[in-house]
């Protein structure tokens, strides 16, 4: 029997030549960026520039119901105003759905996928606690193997294995897959490809070597590393930086009503300096009215992931 990688012909998807360092930022166009988004984007950009590497922009627009008209243009303007320029043209997930479905079909052919008919109510009632959030209890694991034409959700049957890696910020991460991660969705019941499958293949196709993102996505990384291992492909290196918290202790997010980033010169300086202070880089007070270019030039050689080691959240500074 051929392997998943052979069935999928992954060499046609993976970028053939990659630099020593290729990072990315991958926002969903569901609204404008806020300070928490900027913190993650800035950390990713600084790490790439300090390493003399590339920094790419991917628009994660696969979940169409979440996408808001005009949000992508707003995000691009916000990044440019803060001096966070990217390589080439932004990559859009919606242009690569055929690749995601080919990978799903290859996993189905290898009998690694099953249909899940659990409702949200069932999931809420039966999911088990885990280090990264609720863990699927395996209710449908004994269902017949999936077929491409099924209309129910499709889950990957994770191997009875352990996963561990060294995260660039959080240090050693260890998960027992069935108990601490669980079988995860590759395709939703409405037919949409799941985030983990799309994201794992995006990193391969784009030749991403380093993923710097929020600590709230640590569980997503477990699923994506599992997928890459199933596909027989080498993973990028990961660094999960802390998420910023609002005054009420909740994560800064669009769902929690975080204010959109301003793009005036004064707002840009204030927002960049707030992120650098949260990163424990102590920018000089004289930078209060400095341009984005000046602030970033100062920050690139001073970026230090170790200053955030083993920290999953930080208070957002005013």
pLDDT in tens, 126-144: 999 999 999 999 999 988 7
Q: Among 60-69, 122-131, 142-151, 189-198, name the one with the lowest average pLDDT.
A: 142-151
Residue 73 in any domain: the answer is yes
CATH number at residue 145: 3.40.50.620
Q: How confident is the model at residue 148 (pLDDT cuts 50, 70, 90)?
A: low
Final residue belonging to a domain, choices 163, 196, 229: 196
Q: What b/e readout covers 180-190, taking b as 16+ CB neighbours within 10 angstroms?
A: bbbbbbbbebe
Mean per-residue pLDDT for 2-8? 50
Q: What is the mean pLDDT of residues 96-109?
A: 93
The answer to whether residue 16 sits within a structural domain is: no
Instruction: Tell me, yes or no, whether 118 and 217 share the same domain.
Output: no
Work out how many domains the chain is built from and give that number: 2
**Tens digits of residue pLDDT in 207-234:** 999 999 999 999 999 999 999 998 889 9
Which of 196, 231, 247 is where one domain is finished?
A: 196
Assess if residue 138 is contained within a domain. Answer: yes
Q: What is the pLDDT of residue 270?
A: 96
Claim to verify: residue 123 and residue 182 sit in the same structural domain: yes
Q: Identify whether 7 is part of a domain.
A: no
Under 8 Å between Cβ of 102 and 8 = yes
Both 50 and 185 in one domain: the answer is no
Mean pLDDT on 279-289: 93
- Same domain? For 213 and 309 the reply is yes
For 277, the domain range is 21-93+203-315
Domain contains 8: no
Which of 181, 196, 211 terminates a domain? The answer is: 196
What pLDDT digit, counting tens, does each position of 41-70 carry? Answer: 999 999 999 999 999 999 999 998 899 999
Q: Are residues 107 and 250 in the same domain?
A: no
Higher pLDDT, 146 or 248: 248
CB distance 258 to 34 below 8 Å = yes
Please say whether the beta carbons of 158 and 183 come within 8 A: yes
Please report whether residue 9 resides in a domain.
no
- Claim to verify: residue 208 and residue 308 sit in the same structural domain: yes
- Regarding whether 117 and 25 lie in a shared domain, the answer is no
- HSE toward the beta carbon, residue 260, CA cutoff 13 A: 13
- The verdict on 289 and 224 lying in the same domain is yes
**Across 292-300, average pLDDT:** 97
What confidence score (pLDDT) does residue 9 get?
Answer: 53
What's the rounded mean pLDDT across residues 101-123?
A: 92
Distinct helix (H) and strand (E) counts, the chain: 9, 12
- Residue 4 scores a pLDDT above 60: no
* 313: β partners: 243
One-character DSSP codes across 141-209: TTSPBP-TT--SEEEE---S-EEEEEETTTEEEEEEIIIII---EEE-TTSPBPHHHHHHHHHHHHT--
149 and 220 fall within a common domain: no
pLDDT at 299 over 70: yes
pLDDT at 18: 55
Both 133 and 261 in a single domain?
no
> Is residue 171 domain-shared with residue 237, that is, in the same domain?
no
**Residue 275: enclosing H or E segment and its boundaries?**
helix 265-278
Assigned domain for 63 exists: yes
Q: For residue 4, is it within any domain? A: no
pLDDT(2) > 80: no
Task: Verify that 137 and 174 share a domain, yes or no.
Answer: yes
């Amino acid at each position: 029997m051929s392997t998943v990688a052979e069935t999928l012909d992954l060499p046609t998807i993976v970028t053939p030549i990659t630099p020593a360092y290729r990072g990315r930022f991958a926002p969903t166009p569901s609204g404008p960026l806020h300070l928490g988004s900027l913190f993650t984007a800035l950390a990713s950009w600084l790490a790439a520039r300090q390493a003399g590497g590339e920094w790419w922009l991917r628009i994660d627009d696969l979940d169409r119901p979440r996408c808001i008209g005009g949000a992508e243009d707003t995000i691009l303007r916000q990044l440019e105003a803060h001096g966070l320029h990217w390589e080439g043209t932004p990559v859009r997930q919606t242009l690569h759905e055929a690749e995601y479905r080919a990978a799903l079909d290859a996993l189905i052919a290898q009998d690694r996928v099953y249909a899940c008919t659990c409702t949200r109510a069932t999931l809420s009632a039966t999911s088990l606690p885990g280090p990264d959030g609720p863990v699927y209890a395996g209710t449908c694991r004994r269902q017949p193997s999936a077929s491409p034409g099924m209309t129910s959700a499709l889950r990957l049957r994770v191997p009875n294995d352990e996963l561990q890696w060294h995260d660039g910020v959080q240090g050693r991460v260890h998960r027992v897959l069935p108990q601490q991660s669980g079988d995860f969705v590759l395709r939703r019941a409405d037919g949409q490809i799941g985030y983990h499958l799309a994201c794992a293949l995006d990193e391969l196709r784009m030749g991403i070597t380093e993923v710097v993102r929020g600590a709230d996505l640590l569980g997503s990384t477990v699923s994506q590393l599992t997928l890459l291992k199933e596909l027989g492909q080498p993973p990028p290196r990961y660094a999960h930086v802390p998420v910023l918290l609002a005054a009420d202790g909740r994560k800064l997010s669009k769902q929690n009503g975080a204010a959109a980033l301003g793009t005036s010169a004064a707002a840009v300086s204030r927002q960049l300096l707030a992120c650098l202070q949260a990163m424990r880089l102590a920018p000089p007070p004289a930078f209060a009215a400095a341009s984005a270019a000046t602030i970033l030039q100062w920050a690139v050689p001073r970026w230090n992931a170790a200053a955030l080691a083993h920290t999953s959240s930080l208070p957002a500074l005013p």
